[in-house]
Structure 1
Amino acid sequence: MKCWLSFLLVIIVFVILNACGVDNDEGSDSEDTSLSGKENEGNTRDEVVPISVELKNGEGEKVGTADLEQQFSGVVIKIKASNLSPGKHGFHIHEKGVCEEPDFKSAGDHFNPTDVSHGEQEDGPHAGDLPNLQVGEDGTVETDITTEKVTLKSGEENSLIGSDGTTLIIHEKADDHKSQPSGDAGDRSACGVISHGS
């Protein structure tokens, strides 16, 4: 009789421990799913929509496109352009959503919501400062740039969807990332509106 009771107790303990183990596993799965959900919060397609920008030169001719997409690492800018002069060209986000030909001065200065210095300075760079574009001998460039300093989410201080809008500008020369206020990058060769001012 005692043997049967002992055997029964062992089975009951085994079943209880097994059940606890299953519960713990299920809890782990549930937690993982929750974390995945959190990673995707605020980045649904209906909340942060990718933006396609058409780049035109001072004569109004299309020279390229830039696709902007919000990702967890920042805003990814995929640019593809042609009919540019070979070499390095300054590439920036400017503070106004207007591209008036031929000089594009209507786009204002670099996007700089935190009022800091340009380039490689102690209090820099501007939110709109981007790496130079390296244009090939055939006048084309195709590259991806990721910037953590801006967002496509509206309502943020560094949002590219503000009341004044924003633009992308390609300059005729390289940005030295030191000269103030814009890196001595020369004239504005191409412009594209990211968002219009309200």
Structure 2
Amino acid sequence: MIRLTMTAGLAACVLGLSACNEGKLETGAPVAGGATAVAPLRTSAGADVGRATATEVNGGLRLTVDVKSMPPGTHGAHVHTTGRCDAPGFETAGGHWNPTEMKHGTMNPQGPHFGDVPNLIVDSGGRGTVAATVPGATMAGLLDADGAAFVVHAGPDDLKTDPSGNSGGRIACGVFQPS
């Protein structure tokens, strides 16, 4: 009898939660007609090495990065606050996109900020892909008056050290443009 009561109670809870979500999209669900911005990634020598794409999704932005002809290994990858990519060091891209003033990194108890993206792992053929959803981020915030850039760093991001995860120099950069 107790087991039957617990099972019935659990079923009622599940149905109740389902009813609460009816008609509501989970964060990250595609949005019909959602805006997209693309950042073509280039090295300091101007070589095309891929692209970063930001797409509006329910409750945030979905960032997808696809690279080619990059050095194999693990690389920090971040959205930076300014839409400039002046070679050779791409310092004009500024710091990481951080409108909420959080600390850097998903392993930092005071983070992450909007610019944090998981490490990009590039295979021995120079190809790599990474994707993440940034809850709360908006296309209007990304494409504000000074724009935003996407930067790939030389080394791995430790996912906790402020302000950049000790990910090293900037080896590729692209400015987001609406598409």
Q: Take 2:68 and 2:59, find their aligned partners in 1: how far apart are those partners?
A: 28
3-state SS of 1:165 partner? coil
TM-score normalised by L of structure 1 = 0.70
Q: Take 1:179 and 1:111, find their aligned partners in 2: how far apart are those partners?
A: 15
3-state SS of 1:106 partner? helix
Q: Which of these residues, 117, 120, 129, is aligned with residue 142 of structure 1?
A: 129
Q: Take 2:164 and 2:136, find their aligned partners in 1: how far apart are those partners?
A: 17
Shift of 1:53: 1.7
Q: Take 1:67 and 1:90, find their aligned partners in 2: how far apart are those partners?
A: 16
After superposition, the CA RMSD in angstroms is 2.1
Q: Which of these residues, 174, 187, 195, is aligned with residue 169 of structure 2?
A: 187
In the alignment, structure 2 segments of 5+ residues that lack a partner are 1-21, 26-30
Shift of 1:195: 4.5
Q: Which of these residues, 41, 44, 60, is aligned with residue 58 of structure 1?
A: 44
Could you say which residue in structure 1 is the equivalent of 2:85? 99
| Aligned partners of 2:51 and 2:67 also within 8 Å | yes
| Aligned partners of 2:49 and 2:67 also within 8 Å | yes
Q: Of the two structures, which has the highest relative contact order with CA contacts closer than 8 Å and spacing of 6 or more? A: 2
- Trace 1:26-175 onto structure 2 (pairs within 5 A): 43=31, 45=33, 48-72=34-58, 74-119=60-105, 120-152=107-139, 154=140, 159-175=141-157
Change (3 A) 1:117 1:144: closer
| Aligned partners of 2:118 and 2:130 also within 8 Å | no
Shift of 1:149: 4.3
Shift of 1:146: 2.1
Rg larger in structure: 1
In the alignment, structure 1 segments of 5+ residues that lack a partner are 1-34
Q: Take 1:90 and 1:184, find their aligned partners in 2: how far apart are those partners?
A: 9
Larger helix percent: 1
Q: Which of these residues, 149, 152, 160, is aligned with residue 178 of structure 1?
A: 160
What amino acid sits opposite 1:178 in the alignment? Answer: K
Identical counterparts, % of pairs: 35
| Aligned partners of 1:167 and 1:195 also within 8 Å | no
| Aligned partners of 2:38 and 2:177 also within 8 Å | no
Larger strand percent: 2
